[in-house]
Amino acid sequence: MALTAAHGFKLVHNTPKVRKLTHGGNELVLDHPVIMGILNVTPDSFSDGGKFFNKDDALRHADEMVAAGAEIIDIGGESTRPGAAPVSEEDETARVVPVVAAVREKYPDIWISVDTSTPGVMRKACAAGCDIINDIRALRREGALEAAAETGAPVCIMHMQGEPGHMQDNPVYQDLIGEVSEFFYERIDACLNAGIKRDNIILDPGFGFGKTLDQNYKLLGELEKFRSFDLPILAGMSRKSMIGGVTGTGTGDRLEGTVAAHLVSILKGADIIRVHDVKAHKDAVDVMMYALRYSKAKNL
């Protein structure tokens, strides 16, 4: 029996339905791999090394990613690095919301996601034009479910064991895939009870968030298991330690490994990949998709 994916080629998994996300009048059709470009607005990512991010720099970075083929721009103002100081709601808002507004003004049709766990930031970012709430804490903070539901925006529910400060200390699972699935069931249920539409929930196994190297690769290698939820899947492995753990390279030298991991994730059912390097991923995905279409050509 031939298995045909939403992307229109034969895959190891079966996704008969073409999915889409909706927000207001906008639709994002997931009939091809969608690239989400990471736009970081935490101050430590800017050369002034200090308190202020530069809106012009952020916009230039967005320009570059849109030109390279990103269909979603992910804007985040809270550093989730282990040991990073917590950011106040006020600071997070000041970093994120002006950038959301600026990207929205310049690109009326691009999808914008906001990487936040803070209810107030969710509301203000959506008022400024954001389309997707991307929460590494899967809306578990007080008031987050209600805030997300109020906005009507699609949400990305990410699995994380523990909290960013300690999650990598000694992650233990009895049954990794089963426990991540159980988490998804529980959070999907919480979203539905809060009034979030099932069609607007995206699942993310949370690569690097409370997982050892082998646990990360088990999740990647069996990503197709999460297709049984019949919801879009987001994979984010860009420059993470699971790449360096194989290649032996530092964060600045993980591009090739990252691209390979994301191609595998697409073959195993990812609909959206979250990346720093949009151009490299766009070219790699285009070539892979082209090759897969030709694997079915009858006239050659």
- Residues acting as catalytic residues: 240, 274
- The residue ranges that bind ligand 7PM (CB under 6 A) are 38, 79-81, 115, 134, 136, 156, 158, 204, 206-207, 234, 236, 240, 274
- 160: its two tokens: 């994380």
Task: Provide the CA 298 distance to its chain's centre, in angstroms.
Answer: 36
In the complex, the smallest distance separating the C-beta of residue 60 from ligand 7PM, rounded to whole angstroms, is: 20
Q: Which is nearer to ligand 7PM, 14 or 222 (CB)?
A: 222
- 68: its two tokens: 């390279």
Instruction: Point out the residue whose Cβ comes nearest to ligand 7PM.
Output: 236
Q: Which is nearer to ligand 7PM, 81 or 197 (CB)?
A: 81
Pairing relation of β-strands 272-275 and 34-40? Answer: parallel
In the complex, the smallest distance separating the C-beta of residue 90 from ligand 7PM, rounded to whole angstroms, is: 21
Query: For residues 145 and 187, what is the distance between their CA atoms, to the nearest angstrom?
Result: 10
Q: Which is nearer to ligand 7PM, 119 or 154 (CB)?
A: 154
In the complex, the smallest distance separating the C-beta of residue 201 from ligand 7PM, rounded to whole angstroms, is: 12
3-state helix, strand, coil split of the chain in percent (to 5) is 45, 15, 40
Q: Which is nearer to ligand 7PM, 5 or 261 (CB)?
A: 261
**Is the distance from CB of 11 to CB of 248 less than 8 angstroms?**
no
Q: Which is nearer to ligand 7PM, 130 or 158 (CB)?
A: 158
Residue by residue, what is the 3-state secondary structure of 64-125? HHHHHCCCEEEEECCCCCCCCCCCCHHHHHHHHHHHHHHHHHHCCCCEEEEECCCHHHHHHH
In the complex, the smallest distance separating the C-beta of residue 266 from ligand 7PM, rounded to whole angstroms, is: 15
**Strands (DSSP E) along the chain, which ranges?**
19-23, 26-30, 34-40, 72-76, 111-115, 132-135, 155-158, 201-204, 234-235, 272-275
In the complex, the smallest distance separating the C-beta of residue 71 from ligand 7PM, rounded to whole angstroms, is: 15
